[in-house]
Chain A
Amino acid sequence: MLSVLVFLPLVGAAVLAAARRLPDGVARWTWVGISVADLGIVVGLWIAYRTPPDGGLAFVEQVRWLPSVGSSYHVGVDGLSLPLLALTTVVFAACAVYALAERTRPRTQAALFCFLQTTCLGVFVAQDLILFFLFFDLSIVAMYFVIAGWGHGVTAARSALKFFLYTFFGSLALLVGFIGLYLAADPHTFDIPALIAAAPLQGSGAVGGLVLAAVLVGLAVKTPTFPFHTWLPPAHTDAPAIGSAVLAGVLLKLGTYGFVRIAMPMLPDAWRAWAGVVVAVGVVSVLYGALVALAQSNVKRMIAYTSVNHMGYVVLAVGAAGVVTGTDAAARQVAVSGAVTQMVSHGLITGALFLLAGVLHRRAGSYEFADFGGLAGPAPRFAGFLAVAAFASLGLPGFSGFIAEFQVFTGSIGATGWAALALPGILITAALFLRAIQRLLTGAPGPKSAGFADLRPVELLSAGPLLVLAVVIGIVPRFLLEVIEPAADVVVSLVGR
């Protein structure tokens, strides 16, 4: 079933790409159909999912592929990946709906996004490093074409190239780390569960540290953390709305997912040795991302920098989970659970924020704060949605962001007091979103506020469900946490080896 989930969009992509005579309207709805079908499969998987015993995997499929290099087509899910699979299908479905109003080459765009969806899902189900890497890299390729082909602004091609080269560089670092893991394992293997069980570089000292460094750099670029984040703002600014939503909502999670799936369980003692550095990078990303976001004059750049802040919470939590001495395992479990919740939460909320920001561009061709003001007058629904998304993003209780950040902070501070340094992050985030609301929605109308049309059904039905899900998780989080928590326990015990 996992393979169907992963490759259904790829089949769709092939059909859409091949059917050159397909009318645009049919192409748009085909994409919606495919993404909703995939969403349905994930819902089915979620219902059928039972936490596997002993930290194992569910829905496993394994096929011989490259036996000579110890690599196989091995897929499966657990409590870390299932929520991200669900997030991926939800974000892509929202984008498919949003793109019903797309005018520029809709058929090609749909094909490209379907392909991109396969790569993202593939990363989350992969239980083999080669497979992981393959999907990881192909997602970069697909996103490059999204930004270069459908981006706006004269710098779109340049931003796309920057994105591609920077993240490709990151993935090469990741590859070096993977090869190091492969070589250290006896027998050599790229199989993820085997590598986790073996933890091949335990007690190897510097070698383990170097391999972890390579993996960390690769993941840090993708996440992105300070100082590897500068590809993100231009990529977001120039990407189309749905490109930004997928980039922030799903692609950034490929990086943070790597921490909990690969770096922590495969290199536990190196992770513990470097935990302080990871915590520091997390704290700096949180504060730096929030402060730089506060100074932005462009909505999309601002949201992009808040992603650095929000992903900083994840990095902080996974770092704190490596601070093992003299701490309570319960605190570290809460931290890891918070990190995974934050991945889901950020995907939903920031996805919605970028779709709403896209409305600004659709109407007025601008993302500048100075161009707007008083939008609550002509566009009350837009104002309401944006205000709700902003409060969700600043971690207000009642939304998923609070569930995530509460766990991240309590767990991380419980593990290491230094994590408390990141607390002002949630205050600065609040300040910047209130400023954004104030400048866009309230006060006197700006030069481009006149005649600003309110949200259309397609826009309501794309951003709306993302926010509704954020509220559902915020109010009744158990259905999600019951999936995540056992997996977080497993990660914490693996890191503690």
Chain B
Amino acid sequence: MVSQAALVAAVLLPATAGVVLCLLGSDGRRPAAVAVAVAVVDLVLAVVVALARPVVSVPFLAGADFALAVDGLAALVLPAVAAVTLFVLVFAGGDIGGATGRFFGLMLLFSAAVTVTVTATTLPTLLVAWEVMGATSYALIGFRWHRPEDVAAGGTAFLTTRLADLGLYAAAAAALAGSAGWALADLPAASGIWLHVAAGGVLVAALGKAAQLPFSFWLSRAMQGPSPVSALLHSAAMVAMGGFLLLRTAPLLAAAGWAAQVAAWAGAVTAVLVGLVAVAQRDLKQLLAASTAAQLGFVVLAAGVSAVAGGTAHLIAHAATKALLFLAAGAWLSALGTRELAALRGVGRRWPLVGGCAGVGAVTLAGVPPLSLWATKDEVLAAARETSLPLYLTGLVGAVLSAAYAAKVLRVVLAPAPVGVQDRYDRQERGTRRVGWAERWPMVPLAGAASVLSVLALPPVGSAVRRVLGDTTSPTADWTSLLLSGVVSVAVVVLVLWRGAPRLGWAVGWLGLEGAAHRVVVGPVLALAQQLARFDDRVVDAGVRAAASSVLAAGRWAARFDDRALDRAVDGTARGGVRLAGVTARVDGAGIDRAVQSIARGARGLGTLARRPQTGQLHQYYAQVVIVLTAAAALAAVSVLFVFGG
């Protein structure tokens, strides 16, 4: 009971506080203090529910409760995400100015959505949190709304991930049609083709959120947003949730067969190709963004080969590492106004604490032993090797590339400041030349976590993690391969520090993915929309307009007739009578015989018709009654309203 309340509070507290902060719209320091306080409580609650493992469920839709539960996976991920959230919010308290109410409100709303995502046990619950994460991501990327490029970047992120989210709608439909129900755990039971639709839908949605190929480009654009947003949403929490969803649904992928293979390969190929993109970057935040997609490639790969333990450990270790590096990048950006690697040289010596922490982060990212990502990545690769050799080799290339791009960051941290580097500051924004206390200290615990979390993948803690996750079958890395990968990582780092990284000019623009998306999807859709709008006006409406104008003409004629009839009521009646008499006479004189004959023929025909339905006479009468009634009512209303109008 208490633990259930804790889980509910872990969602409702940040959600409520977030909405209130947004509504109050205040600025200044108070929202940051509120947000940090809420995050502290949330971290405590996360630990409580991780230990107590509550299940909470309230009725939501027919056949699907709004259901949360803390299982082994959630018990590991939830405290990690809560801790990262707290550190990022502390940093943001020192970094973000302006409409802080809106900023911290949205961040808290986001963290509530993450908690729901991690604990959701039904598809509708998951989808709710999933899309709220996307919307807060949009609003936070476009936080500085007066900068059109920020808002546009938010739009790109939201639309790209929502395109992928359609997969979750399809999966939910498949679960219903395949009689599996909407519980995530029951999805593998979907019947026939629906199993494959469900697996494919979940896979697409997760690849989109995790910025895997071919969706990766939105993450590049998202770097327009404030640095704390990049640290929390676009590495540690939201993007990571893409990988998380696949870990959560690994049995579904495996049940569908092909989906597991596609996931494994999508992750491996992203680790390599977007890893190359990362190596090519000259902008620190872009490099970190690409490395996020590449590192999540290992998590996605893990889900594809059912290495849930390795994938979870990598996800958690990466969250700490990458949040740290993004915070460092954000601190430097605020201080020096630049994100360019060349301009940042020497920054490590200027602020030694930040530089030291960032150095630890970079070495961790490189996969250097004994730091965390070294062991967690090898755990994933060991499982890949069991599945297929080409997959393993591809993953290994991804690991080598991690060392290369991480070394690029390390180089910046270690290098002395070149002469005249000050001239390259303040290119992206106006730097403050200072890194405050609130910005500095959150990096220390993150660096500590990045260093020691290798225990998650090594015995004895690693074995406990496997037990908690119920993943006792996936292969584990042996000491030989651990040693070998450590040596390779160190060698690559040394090589890059010594000789520099290859330039790879072709990969700087993120493989041209965004341009391709514009050419293949956005452009044609906009053109089609313009064409259809013209079609709607010139074709669909033209027919209606033609009919309308003829009715309008008839209306004018009737109006004229009405006027005349009113003006010369008596005369008109008389004249009409005379005219009618004349016409009657003419008809009578001219064609009376023919008329009589044709009327007789017509009557015979009608008689035949009328004999068929037995109700013939009656129906005409009733129809007339209805029409007269309606007309009378309409007339009454018109005249009533006419009085009103007067």
Residues in chain A within 8 A of chain B (CB atoms): 13, 17, 66, 68-69, 108, 111-112, 115, 130, 133-134, 137-138, 141-142, 145, 149, 161-162, 165-166, 175, 178-179, 182-183, 188, 226-227, 229-231, 288, 291-292, 294-296, 327-328, 330-331, 333-334, 337, 374, 376-377, 380, 384, 387, 391, 396-398, 402-403, 406-407, 409-415, 419-420, 423-424, 426-428, 430-431, 434-435, 437-438, 441-444, 477-478, 481, 485
Contacts and interface: CB of A to CB of B under 8 A. Distances in A.
A420 B625 contact: no
Contacts of A182: 622
B548 to A, nearest CB: 5
B155 A149 contact: no
A133 B146 contact: no
Given A175-B626, A485-B62, A410 B173 contact: yes
* Among A13, A111, A230, A477, residue most surrounded by chain B Cβ atoms (within 10 Å): A230
Sorted nearest first, the 7 A-B pairs with minimum C-beta distance are A413-B173, A295-B533, A414-B177, A397-B128, A230-B541, A295-B529, A294-B529
Contact of A444 (B131, B148, B532, B533): B148
B162 interface: yes
Contacts of A229: 540
B177 A331 contact: yes
A492 to B, nearest CB: 12
A396 B151 contact: no
Contacts of A406: 61, 124, 127, 169, 172
B644 A427 contact: no
Interface string B168-185: 011011111101000000
B573 to A, nearest CB: 29
Interface string B118-141: 000000100111111001001100
Contacts of B615: 183, 188
Contacts of A179: 619, 622-623, 626
B644 A17 contact: yes
B528 interface: yes
A437 B622 CA distance: 54
A317 B528 CA distance: 25
Contacts of A442: 142, 145-146, 148, 151
Contacts of B138: 434
B536 interface: yes
B530 A397 contact: no
B629 A130 contact: yes
Interface string B245-271: 000000000000000000000000000
Interface residues of B, number: 72
A108 B645 contact: yes
B641 interface: yes
A330 B63 contact: yes
Nearest to B194: A414
Interface in B598-646: 615, 618-619, 622-623, 625-627, 629-630, 633-634, 637-638, 640-641, 643-645
Interface string B31-74: 00000000000000000000000000001111100000000000
Given A69-B622, A397-B132, 6 more contacts: A115-B640, A230-B541, A294-B526, A420-B170, A430-B162, A442-B146
Contact of A292 (B533, B623, B627, B640): B533
Contacts of A414: 173, 176-177
Contact of A420 (B60, B173, B525): B173
Contact of B176 (A295, A387, A411): A411
Nearest to A406: B124
Contact of B131 (A66, A145, A396): A396
A24 to B, nearest CB: 15
Contacts of A384: 22, 25
A406 B644 CA distance: 44
Contact of B641 (A141, A230, A426): A141
Nearest to B129: A397
B524 to A, nearest CB: 11
A288 B532 contact: yes
B314 to A, nearest CB: 29
Contacts of A188: 615, 618, 622
A230 B644 contact: no
A292 B532 contact: yes
A226 B532 CA distance: 12
Contacts of B536: 230, 288, 292
Given A227-B540, A442-B142, A427 B532 contact: no
A430 B177 contact: no
A478 B159 contact: no
B219 to A, nearest CB: 18
19 contacts: A66-B625, A68-B625, A115-B640, A142-B641, A145-B644, A183-B619, A292-B529, A292-B532, A294-B526, A295-B526, A396-B135, A409-B173, A413-B177, A414-B173, A420-B173, A431-B159, A442-B151, A443-B145, A443-B151
Contacts, number: 207
Given A291-B532, A442-B142, A477-B60, A423 B159 contact: no
Contact of B146 (A142, A377, A407, A411): A377
A443 B135 contact: no
B551 interface: yes
B166 A426 contact: yes
B552 interface: yes
B633 A137 contact: yes
A23 B129 CA distance: 51
Contacts of A333: 62
A412 B177 CA distance: 9
B544 interface: yes
Contacts of B483: none
A162 B177 contact: no
A68 B626 CA distance: 11
Nearest to B164: A427
Nearest to A420: B170
B374 interface: no
A226 B618 CA distance: 37
B510 interface: no
A99 B129 CA distance: 37
A377 B98 CA distance: 13
Contact of A162 (B124, B548, B638): B548
Contacts of B644: 13, 17, 108, 111-112, 115, 145
Contacts of B558: none
Nearest to A425: B166
A407 to B, nearest CB: 7
A231 B634 contact: no
A311 to B, nearest CB: 16
B62 to A, nearest CB: 6
A477 B128 CA distance: 13
Interface in B12-42: 22, 25
B135 to A, nearest CB: 5
Interface string B543-586: 01000100110010000000000000000000000000000000
B532 A295 contact: yes
B529 A337 contact: no
B108 to A, nearest CB: 14
Contacts of B145: 376, 441-443
Contacts of B158: 430, 434
Nearest to A405: B169
Contacts of A288: 532, 536
Nearest to B536: A292
B163 interface: yes
Contacts of B129: 397
A291 B532 CA distance: 7
B513 interface: no
A292 to B, nearest CB: 5
B482 interface: no
B152 interface: yes
A159 B540 CA distance: 16
A399 B600 CA distance: 68
B159 A427 contact: yes
A438 B148 contact: yes
Nearest to A434: B155
* Among A142, A296, A398, A477, residue most surrounded by chain B Cβ atoms (within 10 Å): A398
